Amino acid sequence: MSRIKRAKIVLRILNKIYPKTPIPLKHKNTFTLLISVALSAQTTDLNVNNVTKSIYKKYYKPSHFVKLGRKKIEKLIKKIGLFRNKAKSVYLLSKQLIEKHNSKVPKTFEDLENLHGVGHKTASVIMSQKFGIPAFPVDTHIHRLAQRWGLTNGKNVIQTEKDLKRLFPKKSWIKLHLQIIYYGREYCKARECYGVACKICTTCYPNRKKPIETKKA
C-alpha cells in the first residue's frame, strides 16, 4: 500500500471519528494560547489546563506577566515541569510583545519564532488555530504516529512535517493536526497500540504482527 493510499485511509477514519476539533489547551485569548502552548512542552495539556485555569482569571495580558516578574511566575506554574525555564520564557516573550509588537501576538512565522521560547511548532499552532493560516504543527506524538501509519520515515520532526504536508490537502492541515492528537490519546497510545491494535494501524497494515519501533524526534 502506498503512502498516498494510507493517507486517504487516515483522513477518512479521523474525519468520521472527529468531525469537530476544539483546541485542547484552555485559553482566554491568543496571548494565553501562546503561553499555554509554550508551557505544554514535555508535559500534558491536562496538567497545563489545571495550572492555568486559575492564572488566566487574573493574568491574561503581556503587561500582567511583566508586572508579576519571573519569580512570581515561577510560583504560579511550579506544578508544570521545567517551570523555571518556562517562567523565564513567559516573562521575556511578554516583554518582547510589549516592546516590539504593541502587546499583540504577531501574525507571521518569523516574528513569532523570534519570541523567546517560541519554536516552529508553537508558532505553527498559533498561525493555524488563531489566524487561520494553513500550518501543520508536528510534535513528538504526531511524529510517532506518522511513523506507525507509514506516512514518514521518521528521520526528524522537520522531515515528518514536510511528508505530511505533501500527503494531505492543505485545507485539511489545521483540523488534521488536532485530529491526530485526539486519536493518539484515545486509540493509538504510545504504550498500548504499538502499531498493531488501533483501527488506523490495522487498516493500513493488516498483516503487521510485531510491534513497530519508532524513532524519537
What residues make up the domain containing 155?
A: 3-21+136-204
Q: Which of 129, 149, 166 is the last residue of a domain?
A: 129
Task: Give CA–CA dist 30/1, Å, rounded.
Answer: 41
Do 121 and 154 fall within a single domain? Answer: no
* Per-residue pLDDT at 81: 86
The structure's pTM equals 0.91
**Main-chain phi, psi angles of 156, to 5 degrees:** -170, 175
* Residue 51 within any structural domain of the chain: yes
* Residue 60 within any structural domain of the chain: yes
- Per-residue pLDDT tens digits for 22-40: 999 999 999 999 999 999 9
* Per-residue pLDDT at 77: 96
The cell numbers describing 161, all together, are: 512535517
CATH number of the domain residue 73 falls in: 1.10.340.30
- Per-residue pLDDT tens digits for 111-145: 999 999 999 999 999 999 999 999 999 988 899 99
Average pLDDT, the chain: 95
Whether residue 38 contacts residue 90, with contact meaning beta carbons closer than 8 Å, is answered with: yes
